[in-house]
Amino acid sequence: MSFFSALNTSVSGMTAQRLRVNTISENIANAQTTRTPEGGPYRRREVILAAVSNDRTFEEELRSQDRSLSTATEVKVVGMTKDSRPPLLRYEPGHPDANEEGYVAMPNVNVMEEMVNMMMASRAYEANSAAFNASKKMAESALDLGRG
Amino acid sequence: MAGILNSKITTLAQKSLDFRSKRHDVLASNVANMSTPGYQAEDLVFESTLAAAMNADQPGPLKTTNSRHLDGRNTPPLELAQAQRIHSAAPHPSENGNTVDLDKEMAKIAENQMMYNASLRMLQHEFRMLKTAISEGR
């Protein structure tokens, strides 16, 4: 069903962007964290997005009435990576986690970068919700055709 | 050929609604994948195909003396018209290879939605006329 696939596509975009915002808030919240369970300072996290076309199998394709196009391509969060940039060293000899030279390894989180990413994710979320509303309105007006 | 319930207008409106909803699928996919690295923006084009198919029952340039002769016209009739899927790349893709231009996609969604409503209204009008005829204008 075409309309529901458009709705699902927009929903997949909203889910992905929401997860992105969650990860960004996690990064900002941990911008000063110097201790983690795996040792060392917190490392910046990022989601990996991939385009997943909901392609049909050969059999489904063969049985389907409409074999011209499978149109919708959803987005999926396929994983989470840790940023490989080195931790930032800050000179703070009194800090309990400082090394012999007095430097503390701070997380490789740049708060400005996170803010920019957060704004982008929130705009992308809005765009997906607008596309969702457009699909909904189209489906509703198609339903009205059967009335009267 | 063109009966009361399958007139050319009805078929055209039906085909147009079909294409518009498929195009909406494609555009919604572009918006959903606006931050996916390497994703290529796509679009469906069908206006020229539909326009050509509208005239598909006109005779072609070759003269035919037998019903099995080909008349040199190869446009498919309206019922079989297909949309083409194209890459609608933005002129300046972002550094991660993504070619989605959000403003353009939102404008296309709005335009597509309006055209969808127009086709729907055309169909509604056609049905209303039929209803008037059936109820003898009452």
pLDDT of residue B53: 79
Q: What is the distance between the alpha carbons of residues A5 and A71, in angstroms, rounded to a whole number?
A: 9
What phi and psi values does residue A96 have, to the nearest 5 degrees?
A: -60, -25
Structural tokens at position A124: 């992308």
3-state secondary structure of B82: coil
Q: What is the distance between the alpha carbons of residues A13 and A21, in angstroms, rounded to a whole number?
A: 12
Angstrom CA distances, A14 to A6, A29, B72, B112, stand at: 13, 22, 50, 21
pLDDT: which is higher, A145 or B4: A145
In the predicted model, what is the mean pLDDT of chain B?
83
Structural tokens at position B5: 């319930």
Q: What is the mean pLDDT of residues B10-27?
A: 89
E runs forming strands in B1-138: 42-45, 84-87
Q: What is the distance between the alpha carbons of residues A79 and A50, in angstroms, rounded to a whole number?
A: 9
DSSP letter string over A41-98?
S---EEEEEEEEE-PPPHHHHHH-S--S----EEEEEEEEEE--SPPEEEE-TTSTT-
Contact residues of B toward A, CB < 8 A: 17, 20-22, 24-29, 31-39, 42, 44, 82-83, 85, 102, 105-106, 109-110, 113, 116-117, 120, 123-124, 127
Angstrom CA distances, B10 to A15, A19, B121, stand at: 39, 45, 11
pLDDT: which is higher, B24 or B93: B24
- pLDDT score of A32 more than 80: yes
Q: How distant is the Cα of A33 from the closest Cα of chain B, in angstroms? A: 28
* Residue of B33, B113, B124 with shortest CB distance to A51: B33
CB distance B24–A138 less than 8 Å?
yes
Render pLDDT for B25-77 as a digit per residue (tens, 0 to 9): 999 999 999 889 888 899 998 888 888 877 766 666 777 788 777 776 666 67
Q: What is the ipTM of this complex?
A: 0.70
Q: What is the distance between the alpha carbons of residues B1 and B8, in angstroms, rounded to a whole number?
A: 10
Render pLDDT for B114-127 as a digit per residue (tens, 0 to 9): 999 999 998 888 88
Q: Which amino acid is at B50?
A: L
Partners of A50 on chain B (C-beta within 8 Å) are 36
Neighbours of A96 (CB within 10 A): 8
What is the separation of C-alpha A20 from the centre of its chain, rounded to a whole number of angstroms? 3
* pTM recorded for the entire structure: 0.76
- pLDDT score of A113 more than 90: yes
CB distance A2–B35 less than 8 Å?
no
**Residue A63 pLDDT level (bands cut at 50, 70, 90):** low
Contact B82, B49 (CB under 8 A): yes
